[in-house]
């Protein structure tokens, strides 16, 4: 303990403090702002990344940053863009929206970032959305799955895009697979257990809506809503037991899902019901759960065999060789974002002007290991990603953990998405 006291002295050295006390606060701000001004000398193309690196979601943020850095490394080793290298400037917002907003401003104004990859989760991504709208700054959201971020016209911005899953796409895919399964097995009574916040509620509602659409005899007999980051799910597990449903749906994620699975297994829950968990298929989750039940249906997140191509396998190997965390759903989404940025930069000839980049990105299709037929597209009309892998697999106890990927055709998704947009007045 004692030894470490030497460090903070540098942090608040006395001269800075005294000056701050003597003059106004402003003097001090000038001092620290200064080095950053100088640093903005602008040889590399700077990509600002506000994300979450502390707290309970840190693993996802770290896997995002690892993916971004790995893609950038590949580009730079291949000679960069028009002779300029790429450089990521990462900031930890701790998931706080106002910090994310402030850091995004700092990244642009102070660090001289040309491009923002918003690797924040839902709450903070809306804050970043407002900031980049305000600053007219080119930005790609890489992690927020909330449908309304790009679907709702009031959130749409001409120079802002999204390179990740969208809740509604997964809901259609999940609904189709689930309907097929329950019809085969003759199951009708559903229960849901999802985290009690905007994502959990919207996701569950959308999923059940499509199950009901495809299997009209479906009936939801109980819903239980644990709090986000709730450590103990015993009361929710017993609530499920009491209701005795035939099928259970959950959009719990990360550590919460791990805890729920281990606790539910104690009660033998998965021996009694069929279960669907959209966020189960991520490597850190699958490897963390100790009592991994077989036969649980899991939404696609990231998996080296989905799609089962040499490109995807190669991407996985490269990621694993250069990262100390496992790849997650967030990893591929951020890698895809970097790929889009690179393609757009090639189109503009290395020009980082926000409006030119936006024009180049809108409707852009790139080759990608994560796409259905080797390509991904950012759709022109709502600036969101399409043609990625959507579907459900079934878990097995040992590696590769999930098998039997049931892929949803994008034609189906487009059809239902359009209807959904109409219903919500988004079109």
Partner 1 sequence: MTLLIEFRRDLLIALAGLVLLVAIGLGIDHAWPRDFLTSIFAAGLLAMSLNMLIGYTGLVSFGHAAFFAMGGYIFGLLLQSPAFTGALGAGSVPVALGVAVVGTGLYAVVIGAICVRLTEIYFAFLTLAFQMFLYSVILSWVDLTGGDQGLMGGIPRPIFLGIDLADQYHRYVFCAVLFVACVMIMRIMTESPFGYTLRMIRDNATRAAFLGVNVFRVKLICFVVSSSIAAVGGVILALFTSGAYPEWAFWAQSGEAIFMIMLGGLNVFLGPILGAVALRILNDVVQMYTSHTEIVIGVVIMFVVLGLRRGILDFVKDWWVEKQQARLAAENRNGQE
Partner 2 sequence: MFDFDALAACMSTSACLVNQATSGLIIGMLLFLVASGVTLIFGVLHVINFAHGSFYMIGAYFAYTTYHITGNYFLAALVGAVGAGICGILFERLIISRVYGQNLLMQLLVCYAFILIVDDLVKIIWGAEYLAMGIPAEFRLPPLRFAGGFVPPFYLFLVAVSVFIGIGSLLLVTKTRFGKIVRAAALNAPMVSALGIRVNVYFALLFGFGCALAGVAGALAAPVRSLTPGMGLGILVESFIVTVIGGMGSIPGAFLAAIILGLTRSIGSVGFPLFVDGAMFMIMALVLIFRPTGLLGQGAVR
Which residues of the shown chain bind partner 1 in the complex (CB under 8 A)?
Answer: 1, 4-5, 7-9, 11-12, 16-18, 20-21, 24-26, 28-30, 32-33, 36-37, 53-54, 90-92, 95-98, 101-102, 105-106, 109-110, 122-123, 126-127, 130-131, 133-134, 146, 148, 152, 154-155, 196-199, 201, 227-228
Which of partner 2, partner 1, none interacts with 127 (beta carbon under 5 to 8 A by kind)? partner 1
Report the residue number, 68 or 344, with the smaller CB distance to partner 2.
68
Q: Are 66 and 331 in contact (CB under 8 A)?
A: yes
Q: Per the structure block, which two tokens stand in for 155?
A: 């959130």
As a 3-state breakdown, the chain gives helix, strand, coil percent values, each rounded to 5, of 50, 15, 35
Shortest reach from residue 336's CB to partner 1, in Å: 23
Rounded to whole angstroms, how far apart are CA atoms 63 and 58? 9
Which of the listed partners (partner 2, partner 1, none) does 232 bind, with a CB threshold of 5 to 8 Å by partner kind? partner 2
Residue 424 is a binding residue for partner 2 (CB under 8 A): no
For 290-335, give the secondary structure using H, E and C.
CCCCCCCEEECCCECCECCCHHHHHHHHHHHHHCCCCCCHHHHHHH
- CA–CA distance, 205 with 400 (Å, rounded to integer): 30
- DSSP secondary structure letter of residue 371: B
CA torsion angle 56 61 67 71 (round to 10):
-170
98 contacts which partner out of partner 2, partner 1, none, CB within 5 to 8 A by kind?
Answer: partner 1
Q: Which helix (H) or strand (E) holds 172?
A: helix 167-185
Nearer to partner 1, 96 or 188 (CB): 96
Q: Which residue has the tokens 């707290």?
A: 55
Interacting stretch for partner 2, rule CB under 8 A, among 55-63, 171-179, 207-215, 296-304? 55-63
Q: How many residues bind partner 2 (CB under 8 A)?
A: 44
Across the chain, how many H-helices and E-strands are there? 17, 15
d(CA 209, CA 190): 12
In whole angstroms, what separates CA 216 from the centre of its chain?
A: 31
CB of 281 to partner 1, least distance (A): 23
30 binds, among partner 2, partner 1, none (CB under 5 to 8 A by kind): partner 1
Nearest to 60 by CA among 329, 321, 281, 288: 329
- Helix (H) or strand (E) segment spanning residue 223: strand 219-224
| Residue 234 vs 375, nearer CB to partner 2 | 234
Q: Which residue number, 16 or 318, has a Cβ lying nearer to partner 1? A: 16
- The alpha carbons of the chain give a radius of gyration, in whole angstroms, of 23
| Smallest distance, partner 2 to C-beta of residue 2, A | 8
Interaction of residue 90 with partner 2, rule CB under 8 A:
no
Stretch that binds partner 2, among 40-48, 172-180, 235-243, 333-341 (CB under 8 A): 235-243
Q: How far is the CB of 301 from partner 1 (least distance, A)?
A: 21
Check binding of 54 to partner 2 (CB under 8 A).
yes
Cβ–Cβ under 8 Å, residues 88 and 47: yes
Strand residue runs (E) in 31-174: 45-51, 86-92, 115-118, 139-141, 160-162
CA distance 60 to 146: 16
**Selected binder of partner 2 within 135, 239, 366, 396 (CB under 8 A):** 239
Least CB distance to partner 2 at residue 96 (A): 14
Residues 261-300, interacting with partner 2 (CB under 8 A): 262-263, 265-268, 284-285, 288-291
CB of 138 to partner 1, least distance (A): 17
- Residues 323-362: x where in contact with partner 2 by CB under 8 A, - otherwise, as a string: --xx------------------------------------
238 binds, among partner 2, partner 1, none (CB under 5 to 8 A by kind): partner 2
Cβ proximity of 276 and 193 under 8 Å: no
In which region does residue 112 sit, left (phi positive, over 0), alpha (psi from -120 to 50) or beta (all else)? left
| Footprint of partner 2 on 169-228 (CB under 8 A) | 196, 223-225, 227
Instruction: Please give the residue ranges that form the binding site for partner 2 (CB under 8 A).
Output: 1, 53-56, 58-59, 62, 196, 223-225, 227, 229-232, 234-239, 241-242, 254-256, 258-259, 262-263, 265-268, 284-285, 288-291, 325-326
């Amino acid at each position: 303990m004692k030894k470490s006291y030497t460090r903070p002295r540098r942090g608040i050295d006395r001269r800075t403090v005294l000056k701050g006390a003597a003059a106004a606060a402003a003097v001090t701000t000038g001092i620290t702002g200064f080095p950053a001004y100088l640093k903005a000398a602008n040889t590399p193309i700077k990509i600002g990344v506000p994300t979450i690196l502390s707290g309970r979601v840190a693993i996802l943020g770290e896997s995002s940053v690892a993916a971004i850095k790995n893609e950038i490394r590949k580009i730079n080793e291949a000679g960069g863009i028009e002779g300029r290298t790429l450089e990521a400037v990462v900031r930890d917002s701790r998931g706080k929206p106002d910090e994310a907003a402030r850091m995004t401003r700092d990244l642009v104004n102070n660090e001289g970032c040309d491009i923002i990859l918003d690797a924040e989760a839902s709450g903070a991504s809306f804050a970043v959305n407002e900031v980049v709208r305000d600053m007219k700054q080119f930005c790609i959201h890489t992690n927020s799955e909330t449908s309304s971020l790009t679907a709702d016209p009031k959130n749409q911005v001409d120079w802002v895009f999204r390179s990740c899953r969208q809740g509604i796409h997964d809901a259609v895919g999940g609904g189709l697979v689930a309907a097929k399964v329950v019809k085969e097995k003759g199951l009708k009574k559903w229960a849901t257990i999802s985290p009690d916040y905007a994502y959990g509620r919207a996701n569950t509602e959308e999923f059940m809506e499509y199950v009901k659409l495809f299997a009209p005899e479906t009936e939801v007999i109980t819903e239980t809503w644990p709090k986000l980051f709730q450590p103990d799910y015993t009361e929710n597990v017993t609530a499920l037991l009491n209701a005795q449903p035939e099928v259970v749906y959950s959009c719990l994620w990360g550590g919460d899902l791990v805890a729920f699975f281990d606790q539910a297994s104690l009660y033998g829950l998965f021996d009694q019901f069929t279960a669907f968990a959209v966020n189960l298929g991520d490597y850190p989750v699958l490897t963390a759960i100790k009592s991994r039940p077989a036969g649980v249906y899991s939404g696609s997140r990231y998996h080296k065999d989905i799609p089962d191509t040499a490109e995807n396998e190669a991407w996985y190997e490269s990621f694993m060789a250069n990262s100390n965390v496992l790849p997650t759903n967030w990893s591929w989404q951020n890698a895809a974002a970097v790929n889009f940025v690179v393609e757009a930069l090639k189109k503009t000839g290395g020009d980082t002007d926000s409006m030119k980049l936006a024009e180049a990105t809108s409707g852009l299709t790139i080759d990608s290991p994560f796409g259905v037929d080797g390509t991904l597209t950012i759709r022109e009309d709502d600036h969101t990603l399409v043609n990625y892998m959507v579907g459900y697999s079934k878990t097995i106890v040992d590696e590769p953990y999930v098998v039997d990927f049931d892929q949803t055709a994008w034609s189906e998704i487009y059809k239902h998405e359009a209807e959904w947009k109409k219903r919500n007045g988004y079109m």
